[in-house]
């Protein structure tokens, strides 16, 4: 059995939403270069996999057929004002030639990883150009024209699997939440910056699912300036007990790196150190894992985060193959290998962030834990 599969395509990593658009798939290539430099892609139990394009039929298990037809029109260069009602033609989701092909390949990459893991050919798989967690059934939003996560989880559920989705991207996973809000076959956990200060404005701790899905949606909104200590503390209180209680067959993890202190679009203050601690915990909790990239708009620190994540997925310690030969600050001014120096929040901002996280975790422990039979750590 292959231990870990890195899903990569030059076609995916070279796609552009536009010169001024913050979403840059090139991060995947940067990550691969770092993984190569740190000796993380060379062993016999690691395999690089070219993704296959998904078909429209694959996407239609979640997306509305009429919406997929609109994407095909956009791909041909057709644009109408009424497409704005579907979120296409905005600053976030511009009209981009080739977008349908990109979407089919991005979803195909996540589905390739899911297929490898479900068939037992890999224990873990990683698609860095995945994690389009804002995409709706019939609309685009938040840089997401489709929702590869919802498509992949829907397929896995149809085959009888119990899926836990854990999202550590700085933005709330609203599209995935909407897809499974009334479903008890998927546990959806999102840790994110509060919607009071960041798009999409959703994801309050009181959003816990409905109907048979009550208790199977879990939101951990965090205040601006939340740092490594606050984040890892609340993660440890909430995520491990819920995963253990749910007993998933497979964990889908959105490992966005836009929680970083240097990210230009968000307001959290994590470093690669806290990020790495959370990823290692996720790997330990997951019987099998499919990871997707998600956000991260400081593209060089994002690549460092994902190289560390890949190291954790493969159970390796990164070793710089060119130590002493290649220098510079390309991947971050505060770099010690792939790690940052500690940069904690201090003063009143830290106290507020810690008190808020404690209140949110206590709410989840009191409200959601009993519904799933989870035990406090």
Higher-confidence residue: 75 or 8? 8
Higher-confidence residue: 336 or 43? 43
pLDDT tier, 2 (very low <50, low <70, confident <90, very high otherwise)? low
What would the pLDDT profile of 341-363 be if each residue is shown by its tens digit? 999 999 999 999 999 999 999 99
pLDDT tier, 335 (very low <50, low <70, confident <90, very high otherwise)? very low
pLDDT greater than 60 at residue 67: yes
In the chain, pLDDT over 70 holds for what percent of residues?
96
Average pLDDT on 211-219 reads: 98
What would the pLDDT profile of 249-259 be if each residue is shown by its tens digit? 999 999 999 99
State the fold for domain 2-372: 3.40.800
For all residues of the chain together, what is the average pLDDT?
94
Average pLDDT on 2-30 reads: 95
Q: Residue 336: its pLDDT value, please?
A: 57
Rounded-to-integer distance, Cα 121 and Cα 270, Å: 34
Least confident of 143-147, 324-328, 371-375: 324-328
pLDDT tier, 42 (very low <50, low <70, confident <90, very high otherwise)? confident
pLDDT tier, 325 (very low <50, low <70, confident <90, very high otherwise)? low
Q: Is 134 a catalytic residue?
A: yes
CA atoms within 13 Å, Cβ hemisphere of 38: 25
Average pLDDT on 301-326 reads: 87
Catalytic residue among 63, 134, 155, 172: 134
Average pLDDT on 10-18 reads: 96
Query: Residue 177 is encoded by which pair of tokens?
Result: 């939440």
pLDDT tier, 94 (very low <50, low <70, confident <90, very high otherwise)? very high
pLDDT tier, 333 (very low <50, low <70, confident <90, very high otherwise)? very low
Q: Residue 324: its pLDDT value, please?
A: 54
Q: Residue 334: its pLDDT value, please?
A: 40
């Amino acid at each position: 059995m292959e231990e870990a599969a890195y899903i990569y395509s030059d076609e995916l990593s070279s796609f552009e939403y536009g010169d001024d658009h913050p979403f840059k798939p090139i991060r995947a290539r940067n990550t691969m270069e770092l993984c190569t430099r740190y000796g993380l892609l060379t062993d016999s139990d690691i395999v690089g996999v070219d993704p296959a394009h998904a078909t429209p039929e694959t996407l239609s298990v979640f997306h509305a057929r009429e919406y997929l037809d609109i994407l095909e029109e956009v791909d041909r260069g057709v644009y109408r004002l009424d497409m704005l009602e579907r979120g296409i033609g905005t600053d976030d989701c511009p009209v981009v030639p080739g977008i349908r092909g990109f979407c089919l390949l991005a979803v195909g990459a996540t589905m390739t990883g899911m297929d490898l893991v479900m068939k037992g050919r890999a224990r873990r798989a990683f698609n860095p150009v995945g994690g389009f967690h804002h995409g709706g059934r019939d609309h685009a939003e938040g840089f997401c024209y489709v929702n590869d996560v919802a498509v992949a989880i829907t397929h896995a559920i149809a085959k009888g699997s119990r899926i836990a989705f854990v999202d550590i991207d700085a933005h709330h996973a609203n599209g995935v939440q909407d897809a499974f809000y009334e479903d008890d076959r998927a546990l959806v956990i999102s840790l994110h910056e509060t919607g009071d200060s960041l798009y999409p404005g959703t994801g309050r701790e009181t959003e816990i699912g409905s109907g048979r899905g009550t208790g199977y949606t879990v939101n951990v909104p965090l205040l601006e300036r939340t740092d490594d200590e606050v984040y890892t503390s609340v993660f440890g209180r909430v995520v491990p007990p819920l995963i253990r209680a749910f007993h998933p067959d497979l964990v889908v993890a959105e490992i966005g790196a836009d929680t970083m202190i240097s990210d230009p679009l968000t307001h959290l203050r994590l470093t690669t150190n806290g990020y790495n601690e959370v990823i290692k915990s996720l790997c330990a909790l997951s019987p099998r894992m499919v990871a997707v990239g998600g956000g991260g708009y400081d593209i060089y620190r994002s690549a460092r985060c994902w190289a560390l994540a890949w190291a954790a997925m493969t159970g390796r310690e990164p070793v710089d193959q060119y130590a002493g030969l290649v220098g510079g600050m390309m991947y971050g001014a505060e770099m010690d290998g792939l790690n940052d120096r500690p940069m904690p929040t201090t003063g009143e901002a830290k106290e507020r962030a810690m008190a808020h996280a404690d209140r949110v975790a206590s709410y989840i422990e009191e409200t959601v834990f009993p519904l799933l039979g989870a035990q406090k750590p």
